[in-house]
Amino acid sequence: MRELGTVIKLMVTEKKNIFLAIVFGFLAAISSVGLMGTGGYLISQAALQPPLYTLTITIVSVRFFGLARAGARYVERYVSHKATFSILGKLRVYFYDKMEPLAPAIFMNYRSGDILSRVVADVESLQYFFLRVVYPPLVMLVVFLATGILLLTFSWQMAIALIGGLLIVGILLPALLTYATKNNGYQLRHKRSELSSQATEFFFGFVDLKMNRQLKHKQSELEHTSRELIKEQEKNSNITGVGESLALVGSFLTAWVVLIIGIVLVEAGHINGVFLAMLVLVALTVFEAATPVAALPSHLEESRIAASRLFNLTGQQPIQLEQQLIQDVDDKTPVPIAFQNVHFAYPNEERKALQGINYTLEPGKKVAIVGPSGSGKSSIVNLLLKYYESFEGSIRLGEIELANYTPEAARQFFGVVSQANHFFHASVRQNLLLAKPQATDEELAQVLAQVQLEHISLDDILSEKGASLSGGERQRLAIARMILKDAPMLLLDEPTTGLDSITEQEVLSVLWPQIAKKSVIYITHRLVGLEKMDEILVINKGQIIEQGSFAELMHNQGYFYQLKQLEAERIG
């Protein structure tokens, strides 16, 4: 149950509404008991045909309890759902704050559909933790206590019978159902997550599946998982239904026992017979507060599994307290970037992506980092942007350790154009404003002209991931965002990957004029335009094996020279 500890802490922040929900829930339940009890007493009294004025108080009591039940139930529903939605909002913010620093590392360990299922379905399951797990037993105990005291004033035997019914319906039955649903909650969540993952992959890979004639096969897998999920849902519903039915049986049996005890006591002259109907109806009605408890084990197991899956997701690495770190960067001028004996391996990987990196990029200098795929080039960018914070050695921005900045503060130094820039299904204007939210339409139009995208309107709606644009247009739009951010240092990670030679030259012709006064780290496996770089680092297997200007490396005829010759042969 440790997984639910944080959920309980967040729930306690709504203690006022929770307290009011319990109070008005008790008032609604006890009013229902009072309504049935006074109603039974009124019928019994009326059967004796007394003078009408003797029934006035009873009639008023029936009306009072009826109105009180409706009013208390309305207020209880209002404050309980207000608390629930507030808790849901805090849960979403809490888990987002925990997950955001883990991106993009988290995407290496989980499928996107699984992550979506956890952050949506699992969080929404936890919103009912108060309403379905915490609230019902508290109200049940208070209502049974009050009703038990009432019955005790008439007969201790009836009070014992009520307590016995409470033990069976409120404790023994939930315990048996908890055992019965022990593995069902996990299977239900697992199948739901699996279906979400498969559906996500089905839609993202639809074109490839269709082109390779595997669409029906993938569809059959999806349908099989769907049927398994339905079976688990049916099993869960059946267990819950059986529990609720047994709870009703327990309530009726308790009412029968109270009735039998009442008949015996009436015949013995210990109780006035006019109270018998009232006592039986009170004993029967009080179990309305116990029936929801029968479904508690299922909801508790579902909440526990959901919390466990979410904390497994967010527990990938420790997160530093941001109040101890630099929160903002006032000076936006280029600063030296110094790597000192940096070693780095991706989570759950034994092979090191970087080994003993030592290099200092002076302000305004432009360096290209080249090497074969998998050599560790992009790992340098990932560390600078604090996507991964666990590494050996030292990285400094100016005189300050990178570790002393929050991720948000560190990223203020950098403008980024990567090989896979994301564009949202929104207008061009909205996609550009991500880089500079306060920018005017005139600024946006000017920057589009700078990157030769004058033909695109700010009101044009982009399809998801910018699929409605060509590869070159997507990269130029990414450059436009970089220009708007106007960061002092630029990280260009394979900005021309996947482009043909002509489009590549068009993108580079747009890019070079924008980086003249910036510090630049240009990562590429294409050796085009490197003559413009102040220095070139050649990385292989995570190590810098060569370093120098384009002319120097070509003159040395080392590894870089071989890469250049190989590229020339392939182009030829």
pLDDT tens for 237-262 read 888 788 888 888 988 999 899 999 98
Do 348 and 109 meet the contact criterion of CB atoms below 8 Å apart?
A: yes
376: left (phi over 0), alpha (psi -120 to 50) or beta: left
- Where residue 197 falls among pLDDT bands split at 50, 70, 90? confident
pLDDT score at 320: 46
Looking at 29-33, 398-402, 529-533, which range is the least confident one? 529-533
Q: What is the pLDDT of residues 530-550, one digit of tens each?
A: 888 899 999 998 999 999 999
Name, in order, each residue with C-beta under 8 angstroms of 105's C-beta and a sequence gap of 6 or more.
Answer: 316, 317, 346, 347, 387, 388
pTM for this predicted structure: 0.66
When the candidates are 3.30.70.2740, 1.10.520.10, 1.20.1560.10, 3.30.70.1400, the CATH number that belongs to 1-138+296-315 is 1.20.1560.10
Q: Confidence band (pLDDT; 50, 70, 90) for 498?
A: low
Say whether pLDDT at 358 is over 90: yes
DSSP state of 348: T
Residue found by looking up tokens 């360096």 in the block:
367
Q: Determine the pLDDT at residue 546.
A: 92
Q: What is the bridge-based pairing of β-strands 392-397 and 543-548?
A: unpaired
Sign of the Cα pseudo-torsion (505, 510, 513, 518, in order): negative
CATH number of 337-571: 3.40.50.300
Annotate 293-319 with b (16+ C-beta within 10 A) or e (fewer). bbbbbbbbbbbbbbbbbbbebbebeee
With pLDDT > 70 as the criterion, what percentage of the chain qualifies? 93
Residue 269: pLDDT over 60: yes
- The reported pLDDT for the residue numbered 199 is 83
For the stretch 207-241, pLDDT in tens is 788 778 888 888 888 889 899 889 888 887 888 78
Residue 456 confidence (pLDDT) above 50: yes
Whether pLDDT at 420 is above 90: no
